[in-house]
Amino acid sequence: MPNPESVRTALDGAAKHLCWSCREETGEGPFCESCVKIQPAELMGDYFALFELPRAYAVDAQYLKNKFYELSRKFHPDFYGDKTDAEKTLARDNSAYLNTAFRTLSDPIKRAEYLLVRCARGYRVDLVPPQGLFEEILTAGELLEKNSLSSEDLTTLRETGRVFAVRQDERIVSLAGLFDRLVAGDDAAKGEIENAINEIKYLRTILDRIDQRLHKTI
């Protein structure tokens, strides 16, 4: 199988890619401009570059989906049945890489984590209970531990879940501005992004538990 690292070279001070088949420069797309052979998707750059998106938190969901379908058709292994083993392998690998990239950029938390790693080389993982929602968290915890729930308990649990969902949405919306600050050189934004991500993950976990309990009760 072609190794992406083996087909890279430095020309004119910039990283260039040589086709694993014809050894000519591939160009920027997923196919060699000289021999039209499929190339490793990783050579196109990170997940944002793969979808031709700027490296920013805000993403056009419809554009992302359309681009995913476009690339899926280009990489689908079924179209490489009569090709060489190397091309078949690349089609499978590219499809897997594309699917992972799409799942990552489609999910607001995975996208934030992925972007933060690239902008700031990792982040602190420490799930943070949202400030100002102590009473709601305590109430949810007590109800989730009960063996059975009354109709009043169910109403309270649903309302508490709505409060958590609103807070989660607010924190997700805040990420775009925080990442803009980080990219602009505001180092303090990194800590705020970490707190936002960890708070959202905390809320997502408790919302999943509430949803499971409500469905179990129905």
Domain extents for the chain? 4-106, 124-217
What pLDDT is stored for residue 3 in this prediction?
47
Residue 14 dihedral angles phi and psi, to the nearest 5°: -130, 150
Q: Do the Cβ atoms of 32 and 26 come closer than 8 Å?
A: yes
**Tens digits of residue pLDDT in 72-90:** 999 999 989 899 999 999 9
Q: Average pLDDT, stretch 137-152?
A: 94
Q: Do the Cβ atoms of 37 and 31 come closer than 8 Å?
A: yes
Band (170; pLDDT cuts 50, 70, 90) = very high
What pLDDT is stored for residue 12 in this prediction?
37
What pLDDT is stored for residue 218 in this prediction?
58
| CATH superfamily, domain at 4-106 | DnaJ domain (1.10.287.110)
What pLDDT is stored for residue 88 in this prediction?
93
Q: Is the pLDDT of residue 123 over 80?
A: no
What pLDDT is stored for residue 43 in this prediction?
85
pTM of the entire predicted model: 0.81
First to last CA, the chain: 52
